[in-house]
Amino acid sequence: MRYLVLLGAVAVAIAAYTVYWVTLSNRFEDGVEGWIAAAAQQGMDVKYDDMSVVGYPFRLVADIHGLDWPFPARDGDLRWRTERVRLVAEPWRKGHVILLFTGTEKLSQTVHGETREYIINTGNARASLVTREANAARFAFAADDLRIQDQNTGRSLTADKAQLYLRDIPPEEASALHRPQNTDTDPSLPPTAQLDFMIAGVTLPEGKGGALGGTIQDLQGQAVINGAISGLGYDQLQDWAKLGGTMDVTGLRTNWGSLVMEAAGTLTLDETNRPLGAFEGRFKGTQGILGAIENLGSPRPDAMRLARSALDAMANGRKGEWVTVPFTMQNGFLYMGSIPLATLSPVREAAE
């Protein structure tokens, strides 16, 4: 009799949880539909072929086929289409959604009436979005065996690994990280966001890479945004810079052909919206630096001669050791020390 009571209690618990899961699955599907309706109000007419919620008993999985998601943009638009994407949530972890990508992704960009389309395939791609903490959203993306093909040219870019991590920094954490100088006129602002990225085993499209070659062994870095930034549009970046916004870049390092580099610095925009900042780079040997300079876009011969002479002087008697080189961006030029290497275009021109 005791075992029958126990089995009955278990059966009731399972039935209750099943009802609970079905209720959550309905809410989850309604939530996805609500998000699509909200996106439509912002000019994004998201469509899909079909959707079902599966994953009982431990997960809620919105299995979406034929997703078509347009993003209206300045002077054009961006459009993402995918054969299948799954949104995964766990009942006991609210505010955390995992996205699993399978099949083929298509990304098209139209600017001034001209459309470029890219086909994206991965062996394993997933993303994670956490929003359960106020003012502390986190987004992470990782992909293995990534391949991006330009349908217009047939060229492709591949990467063994690609990772991206973006998080908002809550005000209380920003206050702890912010270390103002001992002055009443310090213009610096507290950090508001952090971006980490890493790619490895990259093969560039044919004909790209210049003097450094078409293979990037690895490239990684971290950027911390100081000051509130509302978006990546031209006007939004302009307002951010005018209010004293800066970006601190740390841990920037790469192995790309002959270029072995570590660098760190600070970046913002000047009054004409050109990059403004200062970096310090450490290089193993000088050949890689010269190759990187050549890749900037046909620098003047006199600038290359001066750069080569300056680097030879820095590396004199230090073969195979690290060479430290200062770089600045100001007055619309990129300088190595006092040598102007390349002109810098305003952000507005790059965006248009």
Band of the pLDDT at 63, cuts 50, 70, 90?
confident
In a domain, 284, yes or no: yes
In a domain, 205, yes or no: no
pLDDT of 159 = 95
In a domain, 236, yes or no: no
pLDDT of 64 = 85
pLDDT of 75 = 62
Taking residues 216-242, report their average pLDDT: 87
CA distances from 62 to 21, 36, 57, 272 (A): 13, 13, 14, 47
pLDDT of 21 = 46
Beta carbons within 8 Å of 58's beta carbon, 6+ residues apart: 90
- Quickly list DSSP for 297-336: TS--HHHHHHHHHHHHHHHTT-TTSEEEEEEEEETTEEEE
In a domain, 279, yes or no: yes
In a domain, 351, yes or no: yes
Domain that holds residue 327: 258-352
The yes-or-no verdict on residue 136 having pLDDT over 60 is: yes
| Maximum C-alpha span of the chain | 96
Taking residues 183-192, report their average pLDDT: 63
Taking residues 114-138, report their average pLDDT: 81
In a domain, 4, yes or no: no
Its pTM surpasses 0.95: no
The yes-or-no verdict on residue 23 having pLDDT over 70 is: no
Element (H, E) at 295: none
Which residue is listed with tokens 């492709």? 156
Q: Which two tokens stand for residue 135?
A: 């003012």
pLDDT in tens, 36-50: 776 677 677 888 888
pLDDT of 340 = 87
The yes-or-no verdict on residue 112 having pLDDT over 60 is: yes
Q: Give the chain's mean pLDDT.
A: 80
Band of the pLDDT at 204, cuts 50, 70, 90?
very high
In a domain, 314, yes or no: yes
Taking residues 193-201, report their average pLDDT: 94
Q: In 3D, which of 88, 108, 110, 91 has the Cα closest to residue 99? A: 88
In a domain, 44, yes or no: no
- Please state the domain count of the chain: 1
Round the CA-based radius of gyration of the chain to a whole number and report it.
25
